Structure 1
């Protein structure tokens, strides 16, 4: 691995982790277009840690309020808005955890085909386009009920299908349930925190077991660049969708899916 590869992969990961355009598709397409060797498990962990740091920093005040209220709810059994949101994030993560354990082998073998990824990009991209086109909702995150949380959590589990995009499918579900664009995106970003923590834990476990060597300079750069690009992505994406909506991302997904079909068929 060289520094150009470090920079490109870190920026790609930071951006695609939170945009509704599928990080898995990009991490397949970049090596295909550049003929780079696999970056290795250690660098993957670093990139995910950078993305995790970005969302933790961006939503630090929200997370502090949610954590304080969540612990308070355990003692008082009373739920304010922040405690409800904290419980929503926890409960919304359960479906993807169960689905990952149940279908891990299939996901890592059969469904990793570029053709499946292209199908996910196009199919779920069109669904996102429909949800945004018919969007009428103005509900905020604090107005979600437990049925909303369950359905968005199930939608997040569908994102294990490569090419779907975790952020894309959770935002789609939010829009279909009547949340505003900003609320759909905000809840999607908060849901990403436990998912990334779980993914980093599994990857770190595999890294320790493999005994692979680590280039700490590349790792540190990957964390920093991924974190910066992810933070900027979250900030500008929230402003962008309020004015323009999701349709530019729908078009991009379809173009990328067609590109994958053209390369691999």
Structure 2
């Protein structure tokens, strides 16, 4: 990989991991349009590590507070607000982990195509638009219930389908359940931490089993640029989302899906 390819792919990963616009849809474009080769498993691990560090550093105070609350009150009859939210993050992760483990190989073989990604990018983009304009948006993370958590967790499991967007579908579910935009985004980002961590661990295990030569400089730059892009993305998204809403991302998804359809049928 050239340094240019490393920077572009790392920035794409860092931005699209947390914006509701589908990382898989974007990572297929360089290969389809520019003829770039697959970046490989080692690079995937590196850029996901960069994204993981970004979200953990941004939410470091929340993570520390939730972890302490869970340890102190998580197994008591009387839950605190923070220990309950910590449980919701854990419970909301289970469906995605379960279906990801069962369906990963099948999805890789049967659904990772430009056509599937184009359709899901458009369909779930329209669903995000519907959720944004129809949702009551009166609840915050304090008001999340067990039922809400299970439904958002099931929605997150759908993100195993390429083009869905993990952040997009969890924010859509949160909005439909009455969360305001910032709370839906914040809960989505918290849910991303165990998922990205688990995906990175499994990818690392697969990588170690390959025993191939690793370009460490490419991994270092990939992780670094992914970290910067992801951190800026989280900061700006949470700062702007209450004002701008989801419409700009919906429009972008519709354009992106249309471009992919054009590529498929041209």
Shift of 1:137: 1.6
Structure 1 partner of 2:159: 159
Structure 1 partner of 2:122: 122
Give CA-to-partner distance per residue, 1:22-70, whole Å, 9 cap, x none.
0001011122222112211111100000000000000000000000001
CA distance in 2, matches of 1:225, 1:102: 32
Structure 1 partner of 2:234: 234
Shift of 1:78: 2.9
CA distance in 2, matches of 1:32, 1:110: 18
Give CA-to-partner distance per residue, 1:64-88, whole Å, 9 cap, x none.
0000001112454431111111100
CA distance in 1, matches of 2:231, 2:78: 33
SS in 1 for 2:189: helix
- Kindly tell me the number of residue pairs found equivalent between the two proteins: 265
Structure 2 partner of 1:68: 68
Q: For 1:84-103, list aligned pairs within 5 A.
A: 84-103=84-103
TM-score, with normalisation over the residues of structure 1? 0.98
* CA contact 2:91–2:153 (8 Å) conserved in 1: yes
Structure 1 partner of 2:8: 8
SS in 2 for 1:112: coil
SS in 1 for 2:160: coil
CA distance in 1, matches of 2:77, 2:216: 46
Q: For 1:190-205, list aligned pairs within 5 A.
A: 190-205=190-205
Shift of 1:105: 2.3
Structure 2 partner of 1:220: 220
Unaligned runs of 5+ in 1: none
SS in 1 for 2:129: helix
Q: Give the CA RMSD over aligned residues.
A: 1.0
CA distance in 2, matches of 1:131, 1:75: 35
CA distance in 2, matches of 1:200, 1:125: 26
Shift of 1:11: 0.4
CA distance in 2, matches of 1:77, 1:114: 49
* CA contact 2:74–2:84 (8 Å) conserved in 1: no
SS in 2 for 1:138: coil
Structure 2 partner of 1:47: 47
Shift of 1:217: 1.1
Structure 2 partner of 1:187: 187
Structure 1 partner of 2:25: 25
CA distance in 1, matches of 2:61, 2:187: 15
Structure 1 partner of 2:35: 35
Of 147-156 and 235-244, deviating more is 235-244
Give CA-to-partner distance per residue, 1:189-236, whole Å, 9 cap, x none.
000001001110111011000011111111111111100100000000
CA distance in 1, matches of 2:128, 2:114: 20
CA distance in 1, matches of 2:246, 2:84: 27
Structure 1 partner of 2:174: 174
CA distance in 2, matches of 1:33, 1:83: 47
